[in-house]
């Protein structure tokens, strides 16, 4: 399990762990929509199994976004006197927008790794 997490964060191919899923080396600190490789450059593993394969990754992305929003609220509430201050909402929005690009990449990688043994 810990090896899978390391390979996901390194953007490695789920089959051979040598090729890259996305064109860029790191999945962090890149803005814009990610550019995925169609096949692994090392083992020729096809990342998108069928049309619409990554629709399920939207649910993973939603879960990541909700978790980040809740974590941001829990951390930010210590800096305000009231239990729920409306000034926390823009802070949560900024964190969610800043993490959107990372979440897209991470959710797709998680989705690929969850169904790596799926065959057509």
How does residue 18 score in pLDDT terms, banded at 50, 70 and 90?
A: confident
Residue extents of the structural domains in the chain: 4-115
Question: CB atoms < 10 A from the CB of 40, how many?
Answer: 20
Give mean pLDDT, residues 87-95: 92
- Tell me the whole-structure pTM to 2 decimals: 0.79
Select, from the ranges 23-27, 35-39, 93-97, the one with the highest average predicted confidence (pLDDT): 93-97
CB 87: neighbour CB atoms within 10 A? 10
Q: Identify the pLDDT of residue 27.
A: 61
What span, in angstroms and rounded, lies between the C-alpha atoms of 108 and 53? 10
pLDDT surpasses 90 at 48: no
What's the whole-number mean pLDDT along residues 11-36? Answer: 77
Q: Are 95 and 74 in contact (CB under 8 A)?
A: no
pLDDT tens-digit series, residues 101-116? 889 889 989 988 888 7
């Amino acid at each position: 399990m810990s090896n899978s997490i390391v390979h996901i964060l390194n953007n490695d191919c789920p089959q051979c762990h040598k090729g890259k899923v996305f064109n860029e080396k790191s999945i962090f600190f890149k803005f814009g929509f990610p550019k995925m490789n169609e096949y692994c450059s090392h083992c020729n593993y096809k990342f998108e199994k069928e049309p619409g394969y990554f629709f399920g990754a939207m649910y993973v992305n939603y879960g990541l976004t909700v978790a980040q929003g809740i974590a941001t609220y829990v951390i930010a509430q210590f800096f305000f006197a009231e239990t729920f201050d409306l000034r926390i909402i823009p802070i949560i929005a900024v964190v969610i927008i800043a993490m959107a690009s990372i979440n897209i990449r991470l959710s797709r990688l998680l989705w690929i790794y969850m169904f790596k043994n799926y065959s057509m």
